[in-house]
Structure 1
């Protein structure tokens, strides 16, 4: 908890990490036995109900904590609520939580509070792909286990950036490890039996097929992961990053740069070097550029037309097949 902070406002899409931060604040203020009388979670409250609790004294504690959720702009801009927040009780800590990816910082609530030293605004977005590695490393350490780089990568392939799934899978690992092995670094082969993934295929299996130029296999896997709820827009985002990395490496290769330097500059992990170089050998600069163009066109169509998303994406895969045909005709 930040010292002297009386009002927090959390927003963003990562509910799990926001909940962890809120719990950290709460447990830093209240002992377990103080929670019953000094913690209130208010869902869609009226301003008058909020103010009644905010102005009440804590019981056998220095402070009380109020967590407020599911509110709208009219609640935040209520005159009496703003009067209170401009001069809050020093014995009440308020945590506002809005699970929206964006907020309007131009409303009166934020304009007035952002200048106050007792107010803290926190955005907690979904983790980017390049942040997952260190996140899992740190979370594993918190849970008292060590995982090899290859095992972390394996876990990322199946959980993506869903922090709830990451936490659940790490808990399975913790409960499945023998006590004498907890200080030992787990390899990918030791990790696999401890997990229980429900999906037959993942987005990464699909991308592997694309980068292996296995269009028929890509078609099959797309059907499975789409029916499992995978969004085409998300697939495009991940595939575009992979294609862009390969395109950059291909340009570097064409300029005469050696492979070790290419791998280092592009941050390719040691156990992925062989796979990366294989994919690099399968495409030309022109083909990789065309894949990125097709991804951009498909992304635009997915976001601007009412056509079925699976049919739009299958058309994209079909077009990738023509890259193979044109290569064979050369």
Structure 2
């Protein structure tokens, strides 16, 4: 069932119990916001909406909330953010199972999990039996393109395809960050209602444009054993005030993505197949594969080890500038 179908229903058409899960918190929270805005009267939300976190008091809190009668409406809504309930057998799960088996018609219960549920659990099977299970997957390809275009359209603007691609290159499918950058773009657009690549390049966070390109060029310089260029690029990014550990994280991400892409390419997967497997946009995968020609699988694995060793030295209080410069030498030797 599509999530939008549920939001198009009337209150009396809803199921009593839902499990909402997935790793994309933005989509889940967007759905919950839409759900509560439509089905919980704004004036009576304090009386008819309960939000519960899974803790030692979960059973008592849940029973009390579920069995409380709604105030001046047909149904009340209870939202439970879970951690272990759908992941493993937990204490008192049987009590919750029995509650679901004889659930009051006056309440709508939403279980929320940011993890993949264990489908063999008795409680998962019961939710599926008496209600609905909704999975929120990270958006990719055309769905991500459409999300960006529709978000832009909701503000009364249009955007060219190449500008959508640039946003995806910058922020992948991080909807929270995309939403923030789109808001920024709209703020600066003024009377011009058509967004182009030039607009995007002029408005979106310069720190991404600078850091992402420098990290890519830095790794490329390492692969070409151009130590002087690598040191210069490292100096450039550190002079911007970027923390040493943050730089390590960006370099590690680039090398890790390159390693994963190279391994999958060795299995004869296409760029699109690799992107799908790694939950990435195809563009950075294509760039990684091009860059990986200067690296072997063993050298990439060794480079990750050197990054980890440098990270440990930074934790123990070693001189940051010296350690980062030595990292260049160690990475060059690893390649």
TM-score range, shorter chain: 0.5 to 0.7
The 5 A counterparts of 1:147-158 are 147-158=159-170
Instruction: Tell me, yes or no, if structure 1 residue 98 matches structure 2 residue 121.
Output: no
Q: Which residue is 2:129 aligned to?
A: 116
Paired with 2:334 and 2:309, the residues of 1 have a C-alpha distance of 26
Report if aligned partners of 2:214, 2:237 keep a CA contact under 8 Å in 1.
no
Query: Which range moved further: 168-177 or 65-74?
Result: 65-74
Compute the TM-score of the two structures, normalised by the length of structure 2.
Answer: 0.65
Report if aligned partners of 2:100, 2:127 keep a CA contact under 8 Å in 1.
no
SS state at 1:19 partner = helix
Instruction: Tell me, yes or no, if structure 1 residue 166 matches structure 2 residue 182.
Output: no
How many matched pairs?
298
Paired with 1:148 and 1:173, the residues of 2 have a C-alpha distance of 14
Paired with 1:313 and 1:296, the residues of 2 have a C-alpha distance of 19
Paired with 2:70 and 2:273, the residues of 1 have a C-alpha distance of 56
Instruction: Tell me, yes or no, if structure 1 residue 87 matches structure 2 residue 102.
Output: yes
Structure 1 pair 313–216 and aligned structure 2 pair: CA distance change class (3 A): closer
What CA deviation, in whole Å up to 9, does each residue of 1:179-211 have, x standing for no partner? 4x22x2x12322344445556843443013333
Paired with 2:177 and 2:49, the residues of 1 have a C-alpha distance of 28
Q: Which residue is 2:24 aligned to?
A: 14
What CA deviation, in whole Å up to 9, does each residue of 1:54-98 have, x standing for no partner? 122322323221112266548774433221112322331112223
Q: What displacement does 1:20 show?
A: 0.6
Report if aligned partners of 1:140, 1:170 keep a CA contact under 8 Å in 2.
yes
CA RMSD of aligned residues (A): 4.8
2:243 pairs with one of 227, 237, 240: 227
SS state at 2:61 partner = helix
Instruction: Tell me, yes or no, if structure 1 residue 53 matches structure 2 residue 53.
Output: no
Q: What displacement does 1:306 show?
A: 8.6
Q: Which residue is 1:256 aligned to?
A: none
1:216 pairs with one of 220, 228, 231: 231
Gaps of 5+ in 2: 7-12, 276-282
Compute the TM-score of the two structures, normalised by the length of structure 1.
Answer: 0.66
What CA deviation, in whole Å up to 9, does each residue of 1:131-181 have, x standing for no partner? 7555433433344332334433443455454332221111122233224x2
Report if aligned partners of 2:159, 2:196 keep a CA contact under 8 Å in 1.
yes
Paired with 1:299 and 1:323, the residues of 2 have a C-alpha distance of 10
Paired with 1:6 and 1:190, the residues of 2 have a C-alpha distance of 47
Q: Which residue is 2:332 aligned to?
A: 321
Paired with 1:131 and 1:316, the residues of 2 have a C-alpha distance of 40
Q: What displacement does 1:228 show?
A: 6.9
Report if aligned partners of 1:64, 1:92 keep a CA contact under 8 Å in 2.
yes
